[in-house]
Structure 1
C-alpha cells in the first residue's frame, strides 16, 4: 500500500490491553501510514507495539513517558506530523470501538474537502449504554449552540479527521483540551475559526469486558470536566457572537453538505 504524504491515522493509546493490537492491524489494513501515540501506558502494550513497528514500515509508535491525557497525546502526534509535512490526521480510539473499514471513505472525503473537518456521527447498536447515548445529546446541543448551529453532527465521537495546522494553533493557544474535553472542544473551537464540519455516519461498538473492552470514562469526573468546558465555551461564544453572526450572514443562504 502506497504511503500517503498528507493524511495519516493517529491512534492515542492508554492501557488499552490486547485490543490495541487488533485496532492497529485493522487500521494498517486500510491505510498507510498509521501512528500510535502511547500515552504512558503501564500494561506492557508498548513493547508489543514497538515490535510490530519494527516489522512494518507503515507503522510508527511514539511512546510518551507518562500519562497526559488523550488530547495531550493527540497534540504530540500533531506536532510531529506537522514537522514531517502531514496536513491531516484521522484520529481513532485504540479500543476497537471505531470502524477501521471506513478509513478510506473518510480519507477520500477529507481529500476532496481539505479545508473541512470530517466528523463521524455514531450509529449505535444494542451494546451502547443508554445513559451515555442520552448524555451525549446534551453535549451535542451545547456544542451546536456554542457554534451558532454550524452543523456539528456529534461532538464526542472520536472517529474524525482534523486539518493539522488549525487544530495545532487552537491547542497551543490555551491549556485546555488535554483530556476527555478534547473531542468536543476541538470541534467547537475549529468551527469558531471557520473550519466547516462535514458529517459522515459511522457505527460504534461498545465492547464488554469479556470481549476485551476497556473504558477509562468516569461519569462524575468526566461529566464535571465537560460541564466546566461548556461554561468556558459559552463565555467564548458570547465574545465571538458578532463575528459568528457576520460570518453566517455573509455565507450562502443555503448550506451545502455531503
Structure 2
C-alpha cells in the first residue's frame, strides 16, 4: 500500500504537450495517473507510449469523452484504489507550472485534511475576456459558501486528500465537465472542509487547444451556480453557525 502523493492528469487530445507535462512531473519524483477522456487515436497512442517502460505511469482509458470533471473523478478514485493518500491535479496542456509541485505538496503536508488549490498569476497570454469573466464565478462562490476562503475556484492545480474527497464524490452530485472544479470546492466547504490557496504561475496552452465549449459550458456553469445557491439556502443556518464558531475561536 502506498501512502504518499501521485499526480492525476486528465487528457483529451493534447498529443503535443502531454509528454512534456509527464516528464516534468516524473522528474519531480511523483507517480502519474493519466486519464484518457476519449482522446482521438494520435493522442491515445502517445499515452500508450508514455506508460511503456515506466511502472510509475498508470493509464485509465475512458472510451467516450465525458468531460474534464468526469476524468478527474475517475483519476481520483483510481488513485485511492492504488493506495495513495493524496493526489495532485494538473492540466495536460502546459498551463500549470510543474515547478510549483513541491510547494503544493509542502502545503498539503502542512494541512493534510484540506484541499490545497492554486490561485492563478497570469502572464500576458491570458485572454482579457476570460480573465475578467472568472470574477463572476468568484462572486457566486463567495455567496454560496458565505465565505471568502475560496478566493479562486477555477484553477485546476490542486492537492486532494483522497479518502474524504472520494467519499464526497460517491455521496454528492459533482459536475462532469468544467463545472467540477468549482462545485467540488463549494460542496467541500459545505461539509466543513478547509481550503488553502497559494499563488501559482499560469500560462495559456502552448498548442492553443481549448476544450471550453462556449455556450454549452457557460450554461452548465450557470446551472451549477443556481443549483448551489438553492443548496446554500437549505444549509444557511448551519453555515452561519459555523461562521460564528470560527469567529469566536479566532477571537
Give the TM-score, by structure 2 length: 0.94
Question: What do the CA deviations read for 1:204-253 (whole angstroms, capped 9, x no partner)?
Answer: 1113xxx4221011221111111100000000000111111111111244
Question: What do the CA deviations read for 1:30-52 (whole angstroms, capped 9, x no partner)?
Answer: 13211111111014222222222
What is the aligned partner in structure 2 of residue 218 from structure 1? 213
Out of 233, 245, 252, the residue aligned to residue 240 of structure 2 is: 245
Question: What do the CA deviations read for 1:20-65 (whole angstroms, capped 9, x no partner)?
Answer: 1111111111132111111110142222222222211221121111
Residue 158 (str. 1) matches residue 156 (str. 2): yes
Distance 2:149 2:106 in 1: 20
Out of 179, 185, 188, the residue aligned to residue 187 of structure 1 is: 185
- Which deviates the most, 43-52 or 194-203? 43-52
**Cα distance change on mapping 1:197 and 1:176 into 2, 3 Å:** closer
**Contact 1:171 1:177 (8 Å CA) reproduced:** no
**Contact 1:17 1:212 (8 Å CA) reproduced:** no
What is the aligned partner in structure 2 of residue 167 from structure 1? 165
What's the offset of the Cα at 1:4?
6.5
Distance 2:154 2:226 in 1: 17
* Runs of 4+, deviation exceeding 4 Å: 252-256
Distance 2:236 2:8 in 1: 33
Distance 1:43 1:18 in 2: 13
Unaligned runs of 5+ in 1: none
- Which deviates the most, 230-239 or 87-96? 87-96
**Cα distance change on mapping 1:75 and 1:131 into 2, 3 Å:** same
List aligned pairs for 1:47-62, cutoff 5 A: 47-62=45-60
- Which deviates the most, 39-48 or 103-112? 39-48
Q: Give the secondary-structure state (helix, strand or coil) at the position aligned to 2:117.
A: strand
Distance 2:210 2:168 in 1: 27
Q: Give the secondary-structure state (helix, strand or coil) at the position aligned to 1:238.
A: helix
**Contact 1:31 1:103 (8 Å CA) reproduced:** no
**Contact 1:98 1:159 (8 Å CA) reproduced:** yes
Distance 1:243 1:51 in 2: 50
- Which deviates the most, 181-190 or 246-255? 246-255
